[in-house]
Structure 1
Amino acid sequence: MIALPPTLAGHRIVPVLVIDDAGFAVDAAAALAAGGIGCVEITLRTPAALVAITAVADAGTTLVGVGTVTTPDDVARAADAGARFVITPGVDRDVIEACLERGLDVLPGAATATDVMTVMRTGLRAVKLFPADLLGGVDMVAALAGPFPGVAFVPSGGVSPLNLGAYLGHPNVPAVSGSWMASRQLLASRDVASIERLSREATSAAGAA
């Protein structure tokens, strides 16, 4: 199987959390972990994101990273908050360089062959395929894996229990990214039981893929 960046190695599911209440971040991460998911991407889409990252990092039980990173300043703030990895929606060489300078693994978002080539020129060999479902899903992975057989693709955007197995069944897909097991609604309602149940179901499906 094609490898992920070292920090994310072994993680088959990267849950995407949009946190409005930083006070629930640690409990949410614990519910994901109870369901077998040991990492979390907290997006910079809300004012609570950086506080949530610090809370999960300080708890020390879950690998925490940051998503929706679009500027080098985002990288600096997230690194200072305790993020261990960075995921971006697109390719920006300044952002990639900022991550590497801070010693952070980075998974740039890619939507085209040109994006993949740009990422490869930085020395990286793994990308987030985004928005995966709108780009063609598994067929798009297969199309890009042809000219880029050594690149790992992590589909994000439209990934669900219905297509998780198909994605993970492709040899160039070591992991998938999604929010269904800890949606914004579940986080807002502090529904730890549902987060744990959906995480366990996702982990089981990933194991069977």
Structure 2
Amino acid sequence: MAGQTETRTEKLLSILKLQPVVPVLIVEDAKSAVGLAKALVAGGLKAIEITMRTPAALDAVKAVAAEVEGAHVGAGTILNGRDWDAAVKAGSTFIVSPGVTPGVLAAAKDGAVPLLPGAATASEVMTLREAGFDVMKFFPAEQAGGAAYLKALSSPLAGTLFCPTGGISLKNAKDYLSLPNVVCVGGSWVAPKDLVAAGDWAGITKLAAEAAGLKA
């Protein structure tokens, strides 16, 4: 079991380390998903999280998984085992949850697709560490204490890596990326609703390239 956990962790890290920023997308129309994903990949953001917050989300994951070369599409806002199964069936290569439940942990334990579980407190991080997770989503990042809070966790919870998400923008991304326990950040600013609605893929590629160029 330990070997399988290590393999899933390595798989997750190989995806998260592709870029400093993972786009977090709310897709209202599955038809726009392929163009949006291609624009993000063209800008250097290959790992893409599509949140399960709209009726179009699963179809969007399916389309990106099938049609966008170079994309690593994940499903976010996974709340239970049913959500997990549907997301994996749609073609998700990684799963993201805002927190954890016994159902999500059971699905993660039995499946081959890696989970990026959400945590917001030291106790939640410790609980996930005991469950075999060393890489987590820090959510909601800004509201839960921001970069200063994560920096404070780096010593007592050494060995834990985070992808902070929630309230992250181009302005504060470097505050997180400069921390030793941050592998990447998640953000929605690279795909503004107005550009997606207008089909301005060139504009999104430009934002993606800017995000991909962020360094600690």
TM-score, shorter chain, exceeding 0.5: yes
Q: Does 1:10 align with 2:35?
A: no
1:190 to 199, 202, 207: 199
TM-score by length of 1: 0.93
Aligned to 2:89: 80
Aligned to 2:3: none
2:45 to 34, 37, 41: 37
Aligned to 1:24: 32
Q: Does 1:166 align with 2:175?
A: yes
Q: CA RMSD in A?
A: 1.5
The structure-2 alpha-carbon separation of the partners of 1:84 and 1:4, relative to structure 1 and needing over 3 Å to count, comes to closer
Cα distance, 1:125 vs structure 2: 0.2
Residues 9-52 of structure 1: CA distance to partner in whole angstroms, max 9, x if unpaired? 42222110100110111111110011111111000000000000
Aligned to 2:80: 71
Q: Is the Cα–Cα contact under 8 Å of residues 162 and 182 in structure 2 kept in the other structure?
A: yes
Q: Is the Cα–Cα contact under 8 Å of residues 64 and 83 in structure 1 kept in the other structure?
A: yes
Cα distance, 1:60 vs structure 2: 4.7
In structure 1, stretches of 5+ residues that fail to align are none
Aligned to 2:185: 176
Displaced runs of 4 or more, over 6 A? none
SS of the residue 1:154 aligns to: strand
Q: Is the Cα–Cα contact under 8 Å of residues 6 and 105 in structure 1 kept in the other structure?
A: no
**Residue range with higher mean Cα deviation, 169-178 or 4-13:** 4-13
1:94 to 89, 92, 103: 103
SS of the residue 2:143 aligns to: helix
Residues 149-208 of structure 1: CA distance to partner in whole angstroms, max 9, x if unpaired? 100011100111111112111111010001000133332222212211111111112xx3
SS of the residue 1:133 aligns to: coil
Distance 1:201 1:68 in 2: 26
Q: Is the Cα–Cα contact under 8 Å of residues 54 and 81 in structure 1 kept in the other structure?
A: yes
TM-score by length of 2: 0.90
Q: Is the Cα–Cα contact under 8 Å of residues 17 and 183 in structure 1 kept in the other structure?
A: no
* Paired positions, count: 205
